[in-house]
Amino acid sequence: MAYKDVYEGWKADPEGFWMEQARAIDWVKPPSKALFAENAPLYEWYKDAQVNTCWNAVDRHVEAGNGDRVAIIHDSPVTNTVHKITYAELQTRVASLAGALRAKGVTKGDRVIIYMPMVPEAIEAMLACVRLGAIHSVVFGGFAAHELAVRIDDCTPKAIIAGSCGIEPGRVVHYKPLVDAAIEQATHKPEFCVIFQREQQVAGLIPGRDHDWHGFQHGVEPAECVPVSGDHPAYILYTSGTTGQPKGVIRPTAGHLVALNWTMKNVYNVDPGDVFWAASDVGWVVGHSYICYAPLIHGNTTVVFEGKPVGTPDAGTFWRVIQDHNVRSFFTAPTAFRAIKREDPKGEFRAKYDLTCLRALYLAGERADPDTIIWAQDLLKVPVIDHWWQTETGWPIAANPLGLDPQPVKIGSPSVALPGWDVQILDEAGHPQAPGTLGAIAVKLPLPPGTLPTLWNAEERYRKSYLTHFPGYYETGDAGMIDEDGYLYIMARTDDVINVAGHRLSTGAMEEVLAGHPDVAECAVIGVTDELKGQLPMGFLCLTKGVDRPHADIVKECVKLVRDQIGPVAAFKLALVVDRLPKTRSGKILRATMVKIADGQDFKMPATIDDPAILDEIREALQTIGYAK
Ligand code: COA
Ligand code: AMP
Written as one string, the DSSP assignment of 161-222 is EEESEEEETTEEEEHHHHHHHHHHH-SS--SEEEEE-BTTBPPP--TTTEEETTGGGTTPPP
d(CA 169, CA 210): 28
Which residue's CA is the closest to the ligand 1 atom numbered 41?
336
Residue length, the chain? Answer: 629
For ligand 2, say whether the CB of 396 is within 6 Å of any of its atoms.
no
Average pLDDT over residues 67-85: 98
In testing the pocket of ligand 1, which one of 116, 168, 367 has its CB within 8 Å of the most ligand atoms? 168
**For the CA of 499, the nearest ligand:** 2
Rounded distance from Cα 7 to ligand 2 centre (Å)? 22
Average pLDDT over residues 563-574: 96
Residue among 114, 138, 329 nearest 249 (CA) = 138
Q: Is the dihedral of CA 30, 32, 34, 35 positive or negative?
A: negative
Q: Phi/psi of residue 275, each to 5°?
A: -95, 130
> Each residue of 199-215: pLDDT tens digit?
999 999 999 999 999 99
The pLDDT of residue 496:
87
For ligand 2, say whether the CB of 499 is within 6 Å of any of its atoms.
yes
CB–CB of 218/231 below 8 Å?
no
pLDDT surpasses 90 at 1: no
Q: At what angle do helices 3-12 and 14-21 cross, to 10 degrees?
A: 110
The pLDDT of residue 483:
98
Task: Give 87-226's CATH code, choosing from 3.40.50.12280, 3.60.10.10, 3.40.50.980, 3.40.1710.10.
Answer: 3.40.50.980
Average pLDDT over residues 371-376: 96
> Each residue of 593-624: pLDDT tens digit?
999 999 999 999 999 999 999 999 999 999 99
Distance between alpha carbon 210 and the CA centroid of its chain, in Å? Answer: 29
The pLDDT of residue 293:
99
pLDDT surpasses 90 at 35: yes
For ligand 2, say whether the CB of 390 is within 6 Å of any of its atoms.
yes
DSSP state, residue 621:
H
Please name the CATH architecture into which domain 497-623 falls: 2-Layer Sandwich (3.30)
Lowest mean pLDDT among 54-58, 324-328, 472-476, 625-629: 625-629
pLDDT surpasses 90 at 243: no
pLDDT surpasses 90 at 431: yes
Residue among 228, 338, 328, 350 nearest 278 (CA) = 328
d(CA 292, CA 173): 23
> Each residue of 303-314: pLDDT tens digit?
999 999 999 999
* One-letter amino acid of 620: E
Return the bridge partners of 523, or none: 541
CB–CB of 525/514 below 8 Å?
yes
Average pLDDT over residues 568-572: 96
Residue among 151, 221, 163 nearest 193 (CA) = 163
d(CA 79, CA 169): 10
For ligand 2, say whether the CB of 477 is within 6 Å of any of its atoms.
yes
Going by pLDDT thresholds of 50, 70 and 90, the confidence category of residue 499 is very high
Distance between alpha carbon 177 and the CA centroid of its chain, in Å? Answer: 25
608 Cβ partners below 8 Å, 6+ apart? 584, 585, 586
Q: Is the dihedral of CA 490, 495, 498, 503 positive or negative?
A: negative
For ligand 2, say whether the CB of 414 is within 6 Å of any of its atoms.
yes
Going by pLDDT thresholds of 50, 70 and 90, the confidence category of residue 244 is confident
Q: Phi/psi of residue 73, each to 5°?
A: -110, 120
Return the bridge partners of 287, or none: none
For ligand 2, say whether the CB of 480 is within 6 Å of any of its atoms.
no
**For the CA of 305, the nearest ligand:** 1
Going by pLDDT thresholds of 50, 70 and 90, the confidence category of residue 451 is very high
Q: What is the pTM of this model?
A: 0.96
> Each residue of 129-152: pLDDT tens digit?
999 999 999 999 999 999 999 999
Residue among 259, 248, 252, 250 nearest 228 (CA) = 252
What b/e readout covers 328-349, taking b as 16+ CB neighbours within 10 angstroms?
bbbbbbbbbbbbbbeebeebeb
Percent of the chain at pLDDT above 90?
A: 98
For ligand 2, say whether the CB of 367 is within 6 Å of any of its atoms.
yes
Residue among 298, 256, 252, 254 nearest 275 (CA) = 298
Rounded distance from Cα 445 to ligand 1 centre (Å)? 35
Please report, for residues 142, 152, 330, 389, 524, the alpha-carbon distance to residue 507 in angstroms, rounded to integers and kept in the order given: 17, 22, 31, 20, 8
CB–CB of 563/178 below 8 Å?
no
CB–CB of 57/93 below 8 Å?
no
Q: Beta strand 301-305 with 275-278: parallel, antiparallel or unpaired?
A: parallel
**For the CA of 373, the nearest ligand:** 2
For ligand 2, say whether the CB of 366 is within 6 Å of any of its atoms.
yes
Average pLDDT over residues 229-251: 94
Which residue's CA is the closest to the ligand 1 atom numbered 3?
142
The pLDDT of residue 367:
92
Return the bridge partners of 192, or none: 159
Cis ω for the linkage preceding 157 (within 30 of 0): no
Q: At what angle do helices 175-185 and 145-155 cross, to 10 degrees?
A: 50
CB–CB of 74/119 below 8 Å?
yes
Percent of the chain at pLDDT above 70?
A: 100
CA angle 138, 112, 282 (to 5 degrees): 20
Average pLDDT over residues 349-374: 96
Instruction: For the chain, give the mean pLDDT.
Output: 97
The pLDDT of residue 42:
98
Q: Beta strand 171-174 with 165-168: parallel, antiparallel or unpaired?
A: antiparallel
Q: Phi/psi of residue 527, each to 5°?
A: -105, 115
Distance between alpha carbon 118 and the CA centroid of its chain, in Å? Answer: 14
pLDDT surpasses 90 at 506: yes
Average pLDDT over residues 24-42: 98
| Residue 75, H or E segment | strand 70-76
DSSP state, residue 406:
P
Rounded distance from Cα 499 to ligand 2 centre (Å)? 8
Which residue's CA is the closest to the ligand 1 atom numbered 47?
502
pLDDT surpasses 90 at 406: yes
**For the CA of 147, the nearest ligand:** 1
**For the CA of 505, the nearest ligand:** 2
Write out the DSSP string of 530-580.
ETTTEEEEEEEEEEPTT--S-HHHHHHHHHHHHHHHT-GGG---EEEE-S-
**For the CA of 396, the nearest ligand:** 2
Which residue's CA is the closest to the ligand 2 atom numbered 7?
390
Please report, for residues 31, 40, 378, 448, the alpha-carbon distance to residue 35 in angstroms, rounded to integers and kept in the order given: 10, 11, 44, 9
CB–CB of 506/523 below 8 Å?
no
In testing the pocket of ligand 1, which one of 314, 569, 573 has its CB within 8 Å of the most ligand atoms? 569
Please report, for residues 151, 156, 476, the alpha-carbon distance to residue 457 in angstroms, rounded to integers and kept in the order given: 12, 11, 20
Going by pLDDT thresholds of 50, 70 and 90, the confidence category of residue 194 is very high
pLDDT surpasses 90 at 190: yes
* Dihedral angle over CA of 430, 431, 435, 439, nearest 10: -30
Rounded distance from Cα 495 to ligand 2 centre (Å)? 13
> Each residue of 254-282: pLDDT tens digit?
999 999 999 999 999 999 999 999 999 99
What does the domain layout of the chain look like in residue ranges?
A: 87-226, 497-623
d(CA 257, CA 349): 38
Q: Phi/psi of residue 299, each to 5°?
A: 80, 25
Rounded distance from Cα 365 to ligand 2 centre (Å)? 4
CB–CB of 590/609 below 8 Å?
yes
For ligand 2, say whether the CB of 386 is within 6 Å of any of its atoms.
yes
Which residue's CA is the closest to the ligand 1 atom numbered 7?
141
